[in-house]
Structure 1
Amino acid sequence: MLLMVWGCAGQPAPEPAPPDDLIIRRVSVIPGFTKKQLFDASKKWVAQSFSDSIDIIQYANSSKGIVIGKTFIPHERPNRLSTPDHYECRFTIMAETKDQKIRTTFKDFYLMSAFGPQIILKSDMEVIRPKLENTVNALISSFSAIVQEENW
């Protein structure tokens, strides 16, 4: 028993994600698209790209070009002793649009398990960040597809 306790004490404590890691922001330039076109596409993207909850979009204002949603993506954290732990990585997403630009922001992150909220570790954000960045890449790529369809 003493050996087991000693072996566990040698493991470094998991590192919580620093505050800067808990905000993901990106500005994308999309030439040739108006604020209205970008707003409409962003609203559709927020509604379709994340959880299947009915009330993802919390606020949408076309004249301001802002869409705000609260949603989640599934997340797994490796567990040395058994199968991975499963979480919902919950967050707020905001898409702000103006002519030829979209700024996407992910913030207010927390992990929800069956036992309640959990601390987000640095290693969690190393997995979560690329997933969210890929959704933004898909949004930006969708505009290239629109241009190609119009120029067939």
Structure 2
Amino acid sequence: MKKLLFAGLLVLGVTGCMSMPTPSTPMTNVVDIVALNGQSKDQIFEKSKIWIAKSFKSANNVIQYQDKSTGQIIGKGTIPFPCDGFIDCGAFGQDRVNFTIQIDTKDNKARISFSDITATSLTYVKGGMNNIGGERQILIVEHQQRIESKLKLIAQQYKADVINQQTESKDW
């Protein structure tokens, strides 16, 4: 009976030690095509620059490359890590998600791409534990899913803002 009880506790204990699923590749790209009917490539390009200026703290620091003839804007951005719950936010709440954003414009649509997606931990001491920080790939599936949905939300905010710029009245 003792052996059976010990075996049951051992199986129960080992089951609780299962690791989180890890993808074979780190998170790389998130791409969204945005339909912007009735707008030319140049209009979308200018409105994209306005959106970047309104959405990021410093558009001059974000935009690394822009070419109106090709309709392309490339920049570097960062967002807070999208943590969920007490334990997750305790472990990753101070982290930042870094990415390269690329907006390609054509008549009636734009493609917004996020690439080079990494996370950066800040250096801090908490509860006697030292976190040395640094940049790392995103390898946890749940984190990849949360970050992907956050980046897709940013793409939807981009679409809403570009459309809203179209309907704003110039007569004030």
Instruction: Identify if the C-alpha distance between structure 1 residues 12 and 54 changes in structure 2 by more than 3 Å, giving closer, same or farther.
Output: farther
Corresponding position of 1:118:
136
Q: Report how far residue 64 of structure 1 moved.
A: 0.8
TM-score of the aligned structures, taking structure 1 as reference length: 0.79
| 1:119 counterpart letter in structure 2 | Q
Which of 10-19 and 54-63 deviates more?
Answer: 10-19
Instruction: Identify if the C-alpha distance between structure 1 residues 55 and 10 changes in structure 2 by more than 3 Å, giving closer, same or farther.
Output: same
The structure with the largest alpha-carbon Rg is: 2
User: Contact 2:66–2:73 (CA<8 Å) still a contact in 1?
Assistant: yes
Matching residue within 51, 75, 84 for 2:91: 84
Q: Report how far residue 149 of structure 1 moved.
A: 3.6
Regions of 4+ moved over 6 Å: none
Q: Report how far residue 148 of structure 1 moved.
A: 3.7
Corresponding position of 2:105:
97
Over residues 54-113 of structure 1, what are the superposed CA-to-partner deviations in whole Å (9 max), with x where a residue is unaligned? 511100111110000111101054674982322110010000001111001001011111
| 2:134 counterpart letter in structure 1 | G
Corresponding position of 1:142:
161
Q: Report how far residue 136 of structure 1 moved.
A: 1.3
Instruction: Identify if the C-alpha distance between structure 1 residues 124 and 37 changes in structure 2 by more than 3 Å, giving closer, same or farther.
Output: same
For the residues of structure 2 that align with 1:116 and 1:14, how far apart are their CA atoms? Answer: 22
The aligned length equals 148
TM-score of the aligned structures, taking structure 2 as reference length: 0.71
Between Structure 1 and Structure 2, the one with more strand by share is 1
Structure 1: runs of 5 or more not aligned = none
Pairing of 1:41-52 with structure 2 (within 5 A): 41-50=47-56, 52=58
Query: Does residue 1:58 correspond to 2:64, yes or no?
Result: yes
Q: Report how far residue 17 of structure 1 moved.
A: 4.6
What root-mean-square deviation, in Å, do the aligned CA atoms of Structure 1 and Structure 2 show?
3.1
User: Contact 2:27–2:137 (CA<8 Å) still a contact in 1?
Assistant: no
Structure 2: runs of 5 or more not aligned = 1-8, 123-132
